[in-house]
Structure 1
Amino acid sequence: MKLSLIRRASVAALVLAATVAPAVAAQSSDTTPRSGTAVKAAAIGAKARLLGEKIVPYKLAFQDTTVGGLSGIDRNPCTGEYVMISDDRSVLQPARFYTARIDVDGAGVHSVDFTGTHPFRQPDGSVYPPVSAGDGKAVDPEEVRVDPRSCRRYWWAQEGDRPRSASEPVIQPSIQFANRSGAYRGQLPLPANYEITTGDLGPRRNKSIEAITFGDKDRVLTSAVEGPLLQDGPEPTLEHGALVRVTRQSREGAVLGQVAYPLEKIFAASDPSSPWPPDTGVPSILAFPDDPSRYLVLERTWVAGSGYKIRVYDATTRGATEVGGMDSLVGQRVVPMRKKLVADFHDLGLSTVDNTEGMTWGPILPNGERTLILVSDDNFADDAVTQIVALGVRVR
């Protein structure tokens, strides 16, 4: 999600629709952070502490590419290396991913060393064109996962593009898989309500698929749209949150279930002198290894004058209403996923809180904690950073 670019672009101001918000039978249960750097999620059971951070140099040159826009990260369980996806829409260089070694332990993040990069390729073998080409073939890469069954494939999500005018092409979101060199190997069929339509249905512009994860013994791929679908009600405001859809699918694409996740309200009022509205959503979701109903969910919010709010929640689908058959969530009695706060980045003592968009499990520490590695998307802007953050997460 290119928040820095949004602040600079000439886009129309967001008009909040005067529609009725979805009826919610169980509200989100955000916890109040305690003092210090550890925050408990008592009911579901995870707590996190800061291990360390590392800032990657701005516009680092690597193998004839510009490192930046890192919006997704995953750890290869076979090699211990990490793969990171750039959301460069082939503007600086072709849409691509990086591999890297991240030296992290209980004492912090010691180094981040990039080891390779490859462009993603279309079915005909060509790289993706820049979005400015206007031919409808551009992509907006946002998330990447290493196939845990073989480590030989990378699954990646791109959120497409809902055009601002009828003269621009619709670019549908997709979940594709590629080999380790970026060559196209296939695509996952998506649920019908993930499709961008010409009417008031489907994902909002720049609010489609940003989050995918493997779970349930690697048999299920779960995805989340970043914001509420157009038919599901308005986006969050200072007064109310919103519901976003989370979908479980088989590796072949069969939809196994769809539930709603409750996005928090906007945390602060915007600077009245700014033309840019608040922006919030779910950029990443991560399955717990041993519980097919449990996920870490990353919420990222930007407010003019207040900056970023980054929060990680422990969430479960247990007891959540099946919503796949609901054309709209407005006016429906919906029990969303339950959630508890694991970490608010403002409570961790970080050097800065920026546009964090990706997360993955890292190695298990000697004390039994799992490491959680997160990365921020600097949008190739000089007022932002590429930040690698490591948390120690104790799971109960």
Structure 2
Amino acid sequence: MKSSLIRRACVAAVVLAATMAPAVAAQTDDTGVRGGTAAPSDIGAKARLLGERTIPNKFTFRGTTVGGLSGIDRDPCTGEYVAISDDRSVLQSARFYTARIAVDATGVHSVDFTGTHPLLQPGGAVYPALHAGDGKAVDPEEVRVDPQSCDYWWAQEGERPKSSDGLVIQPSIQFAGRSGAYRGQLTLPPNYEILAGDRGLRRNKAVEAITFGARGSMLTSAVEGPLLQDGPEPTLQHVAPVRVTQQSRDGAVLGQFAYPLEKIFTAPDGSSTYPPDTGVPAILSYPGDSSRYLVLERTWVSGAGFKIRLFDATTRGATDVQHIDSLKGRKIVPMRKKLVADLADFDLSGVYNTEGMTWGPTLPDGERSLVLISDDNFTEDAATQIVALGIR
């Protein structure tokens, strides 16, 4: 999600009840959709700040502009990290970077880039810019290292044009070799598609979050915002459902669930023509539990800036909605969730457009480090910030 593209108007109602309070029975709101809540014994991770480091704006590396970093993952084969840029081949070809990031219990000590490669099409060519008009452009948003092969899987959310006569580019989850060569792609669920009219994926709210689970035998993805037929986006009064899908490596859908996206946290001050905007840019599977996830929610409101929150969530007990065409007005049990961290509560230099996260090394006291990265949108008033948290 890019702040330069924040144009979606807030709407007056949605269909899902909030699910924040712990140890409370499931409830039904006045729209008829059931909301579940999390018991402390199920979920409830704790987080503390380890440290942060900021990469200079417009930093160059091997002839490329480092920025737009909207996804990050730790490579189990090398101990390094891979980060994907959401540059749509405007500044340079769509690409990813590798880096050494020194993280321990006392902070983030250094960030050293070690390589960069363009992402390649099946024929070996780089991806063109969107204005090329040939339907082959991509919008890279997330990258994960395959725990079985150490190849890269990456998600791009395509393009829903503003007008009905514009060119549609469907989202995809592709896999690539370690130098960016195309290796294939995952068959997406039938409802992960940009459709005509008031159905399908919203513009700039498509497939942005993926994570491996079950030792690499399962890939979970989340769309950034609710499908058009599932109802409106969150407002100051209502949450909204985001679909989370578990698939096998061959594309078979194992389950699909509704994750309740938080309400807009405050009213805009009117200083911008852009309305509030929110979504799920990253999801991360817990090691050893394929039903449990860290979910990153990123919200922007004019006058207030960014709010970045982490939630501990589970699919246990949630309704499988893969065969439900529209969630609007349906009585379902969504994923349960509990707040882990709000970055505003930490002593950071600022809260920026954080869109990527990955597990880092395990710390001596048994905590697992979590590394987050922000997308600077290649603008002077933003930053590429790397934040490390300790997670219990």
Taking structure 2 as the reference length, the TM-score comes to 0.93
- The answer to whether residue 12 in structure 2 is matched with residue 14 in structure 1 is no
Q: Distance in 1 between matches of 2:234 and 2:15?
A: 11
- What is the CA distance between 1:168 and its match in structure 2? 1.8
Q: Distance in 2 between matches of 1:170 and 1:235?
A: 22
Question: Structure 1, residues 133-184: CA drift from partner, whole Å, max 9, x if none?
Answer: 1221110000000000121x10000000100113321000000000000000
| Structure 1 residues 341 and 28: alpha-carbon distance in aligned structure 2, compared to 1, 3 A threshold | same
- What is the CA distance between 1:272 and its match in structure 2? 2.1
Correspondent of 2:181 among 163, 172, 183: 183
- Residue 161 of structure 2 aligns to which amino acid in structure 1? P
Partner of 1:57: 56
Partner of 1:35: none
Question: Structure 1, residues 322-374: CA drift from partner, whole Å, max 9, x if none?
Answer: 11111100010111111111110000111100000000000001110000000
Partner of 1:372: 370
Q: Distance in 2 between matches of 1:343 and 1:129?
A: 38
1:210 aligned counterpart, secondary structure: strand
Which residues of structure 1 form unaligned runs of 5+?
32-40
- Residue 196 of structure 1 aligns to which amino acid in structure 2? I
Q: Distance in 1 between matches of 2:257 and 2:83?
A: 28
- Residue 294 of structure 1 aligns to which amino acid in structure 2? R
- What is the CA distance between 1:96 and its match in structure 2? 0.3
- Residue 140 of structure 1 aligns to which amino acid in structure 2? D
2:229 aligned counterpart, secondary structure: helix
Q: Is the 8 A contact 2:276 2:301 kept in 1?
A: yes
Q: Distance in 2 between matches of 1:209 and 1:344?
A: 24
Q: Distance in 2 between matches of 1:66 and 1:330?
A: 43
Q: Distance in 2 between matches of 1:45 and 1:200?
A: 37
2:138 aligned counterpart, secondary structure: coil
- The answer to whether residue 108 in structure 2 is matched with residue 109 in structure 1 is yes
Partner of 1:331: 329
2:131 aligned counterpart, secondary structure: helix
Question: Structure 1, residues 222-278: CA drift from partner, whole Å, max 9, x if none?
Answer: 000000000000000001010000000000000000000000000000112421100
Q: Is the 8 A contact 2:140 2:157 kept in 1?
A: yes
Question: Structure 1, residues 30-82: CA drift from partner, whole Å, max 9, x if none?
Answer: 68xxxxxxxxx944131010000000011111001000000000000111000
Correspondent of 1:275 among 261, 273, 276: 273
Q: How does 1:217-296 map to 2 (within 5 A)?
A: 217-296=215-294
Partner of 2:125: 126
Q: Is the 8 A contact 2:102 2:110 kept in 1?
A: yes
Q: Is the 8 A contact 2:174 2:184 kept in 1?
A: yes
Question: Structure 1, residues 181-208: CA drift from partner, whole Å, max 9, x if none?
Answer: 0000000000111010112111100000
Q: Is the 8 A contact 1:21 1:331 kept in 2?
A: no
Taking structure 1 as the reference length, the TM-score comes to 0.92
- The answer to whether residue 316 in structure 2 is matched with residue 321 in structure 1 is no
Query: Which stretches of structure 1, 4 residues or more, deviate above 4 A after TM superposition?
Result: none
Which of 163-172 and 365-374 deviates more? 163-172
- Residue 15 of structure 2 aligns to which amino acid in structure 1? P
Q: Is the 8 A contact 1:75 1:83 kept in 2?
A: yes
Cα RMSD of the aligned pairs, angstroms, is: 1.3
Partner of 1:99: 98
1:372 aligned counterpart, secondary structure: strand
- What is the CA distance between 1:28 and its match in structure 2? 1.3
How many aligned residue pairs are there?
Answer: 375
Partner of 1:390: 388
- What is the CA distance between 1:15 and its match in structure 2? 6.2
1:292 aligned counterpart, secondary structure: strand
Q: Distance in 1 between matches of 2:10 and 2:325?
A: 23
Q: Distance in 1 between matches of 2:271 and 2:116?
A: 41
Partner of 1:36: none
Q: Distance in 2 between matches of 1:208 and 1:102?
A: 29
Identity of aligned residues (%): 71
Q: Is the 8 A contact 1:23 1:332 kept in 2?
A: no
Q: Is the 8 A contact 2:10 2:275 kept in 1?
A: no
